[in-house]
Structure 1
Amino acid sequence: MGPVAKLLPCGLRLHLQHGPIDLIIGADGDRTKAFDAAQARFATVLDELVHELSVLRAPMTKETPSPTGLIARRMHVATMPLSNHFVTRMAAVAGAVADEVLTAMVDAADLPRAYVNNGGDIALHLHDGAQFTTAMMAHTGDVLGQITVTEADPIRGIATSGRHGRSLSFGVADSVTVLATTAARADVAATLIANAVDLPDHAAITRKPANDLVDDSDLGARPVVTDCAPLSLIDCQTALLSGEDRATQFQAQNLISAAGLFLQGHVATTNPQFLKAKHPERLYA
């Protein structure tokens, strides 16, 4: 089945879906022209990615040559600065798709504000004083906090990763939300920060080889978290501070603007100016 496009009942948002890619798109301004451009660009996205899938699943190194496709190159550029960690370009795929479709919209239409939400990884366009506000949600549906980004902020991408998300994780974080200059960059950083929220060899954590869970996983036989029993306060603090250290490093390298890390009701944040957790004191409660 090919790409499917549907205007949502509100008439203000477009839903695009093809295989595992599922986008919700919004725009202020020339919405019709923007939605037409998004649909046209989306038509070949999955085929482009499949064409280079073996390359995109390979571990990233400083010497890894760039792939050829537009979206694949976005994934490469976002991942390269973090290739000193184990990572594949697939860590940036959702954000890169969102960035690419948004670019097509902005090139085609006059838009004061637009966004492309790819399963929670969001690419933003803000102009003429526009701002974007969204909630951070737990996998249980509870509200974890709020994000507000304005035109003046150096943020055009939001991404979330963790063991309850769509991808496998090396860490125990329920979720990690990252703000960065692009959705692709936020996507990679969220993955790596979530991986760092961990307690190696802890008895409460169950792990299995990634390829036991997903046959063609880009993580191979590396162990990923499949379950985590309730942890003590000290354990939560230890795991979150490990992830916070990595987030702080990325922020010092100007790779991200902020991160929020959540684990079993506890939270750590690196820049509350942009990302306001509902219970910021819970790490030390």
Structure 2
Amino acid sequence: MTGPTASFIDHDPNGRLHLQHGPIDLIIGVDGAISLELEAYFRAHAFAHANRRFRTVLDELMAELPLLKSQALTGCALPQGQIAKRMMTAVLPFADTGFITPMAAVAGAVADEVLAAMLASFDGQERPRRIYVNNGGDIALHLDEQADFRIRMAREDGAHLGDFAVDAASPTRGIATSGRGGRSLSMGIADSVTVLASNAAAADAAATIVANAVDLPGHAAVQRLPANRVVDDSDLGARLVTVDCGDLSDAEVTAALDAGGAKAQSLMTQGLVHRAGLFLKSQGHLVTADLETIAMPARSGPLLESKRYA
């Protein structure tokens, strides 16, 4: 494995920064200042500190990997590294309700840590109005004043599923997506579940839990395999994960999404989730801050319009 690399998207130092090391792949954006000159300075300063912090991230995680791949339980041993601590903090709220390891929050925790390193490098309020760290779809946000951020949800084939908008007044500073179509394994059948929460690690862990809950246990159209047969060193061990989901009736899709929506509502009541979008086949459910699950009917084309998230 090569060491950490840094490059500018489109070879433009005034664009976005790409940091990559092994499985970790970050896209970082920095913008917002009273002048273009100050914005360019802020961006270069933030990028330098992001790159500096990123250099040791993978080594730090590897040093505690056995613990991070073990089931999180109340009273379990706690990790020492800062990123590992973020991971454990994110998953412990779910420790007594089902199986979860700190690895469920690794992508979000890395994004949070790199964002924190950039913010810590600025003196007081003299900093960019917006910074985002996108780690494979799990996103840590900094938003000041009038800054906002919009995340577009899409199927693997590129079909637009809708947008989530976050502004500076919102408590949301983390966005994560999980499901059987992503980079990680899922015990559920959701195509994707996008969750908004207080930080990226918290959103990452919650998205895993909600995606697992979108399910039809024992259904003949759902193919499952032990996780360690899909990924040799999976932290899920021999637990069954979904590898394929065949044809389902509209009623079955609705039932699976209802199960996931109920889990998202429960997490929202506990303050662990701010909003969530759940998608399966041609249907989607939107769980909103007023604890209402809105079932979107099956149809062709985009499932949700952006204005539903405003």
Higher-Rg structure is 2
Alpha-carbon distance in structure 2 between the residues aligned to 1:272 and 1:58? 33
Report the equivalent of 1:101: 114
Report the equivalent of 1:20: 23
Identity %: 53
Report the equivalent of 2:45: 33
Of the three residues 94, 102, 105, the one matched with 1:89 is 102
TM-score (norm 1): 0.95
Alpha-carbon distance in structure 2 between the residues aligned to 1:259 and 1:101? 24
Alpha-carbon distance in structure 1 between the residues aligned to 2:138 and 2:155? 15
Report the equivalent of 1:134: 151
Alpha-carbon distance in structure 2 between the residues aligned to 1:154 and 1:138? 27
Work out whether residues 274 and 289 of structure 2, in 8 Å CA contact, stay in contact via their aligned partners in 1: no
Q: Residue type of the partner of 1:107?
A: A
Alpha-carbon distance in structure 2 between the residues aligned to 1:134 and 1:269? 15
Q: Residue type of the partner of 1:64?
A: C
Report the equivalent of 1:221: 238
Deviation at 1:272, TM superposition (A): 7.3
Please, which moves more after superposition, 190-199 or 77-86?
77-86
Deviation at 1:260, TM superposition (A): 0.5
Alpha-carbon distance in structure 2 between the residues aligned to 1:215 and 1:281? 39
Deviation at 1:282, TM superposition (A): 3.5
Report the equivalent of 2:135: 118
Alpha-carbon distance in structure 2 between the residues aligned to 1:133 and 1:181? 16
1:74 aligns to 2:86 (yes or no): yes
Report the equivalent of 2:267: 250
Alpha-carbon distance in structure 1 between the residues aligned to 2:287 and 2:254? 15
1:53 aligns to 2:65 (yes or no): yes
Secondary structure in 2 aligned to 1:218? coil
Please, which moves more after superposition, 216-225 or 264-273?
264-273
Secondary structure in 1 aligned to 2:298? helix
Work out whether residues 177 and 193 of structure 2, in 8 Å CA contact, stay in contact via their aligned partners in 1: yes
Aligned 1:154-169 pairs, distance under 5 A: 154-169=171-186
Listed as ranges, the gaps of 5+ residues in structure 2 are 32-38, 304-310
Deviation at 1:132, TM superposition (A): 0.7
Q: Residue type of the partner of 1:152?
A: A
Secondary structure in 2 aligned to 1:282? coil
Of the three residues 248, 252, 264, the one matched with 2:281 is 264
Report the equivalent of 1:5: 6
Report the equivalent of 1:282: 298
TM-score (norm 2): 0.88
Alpha-carbon distance in structure 1 between the residues aligned to 2:65 and 2:159? 35
Please, which moves more after superposition, 133-142 or 30-39?
133-142
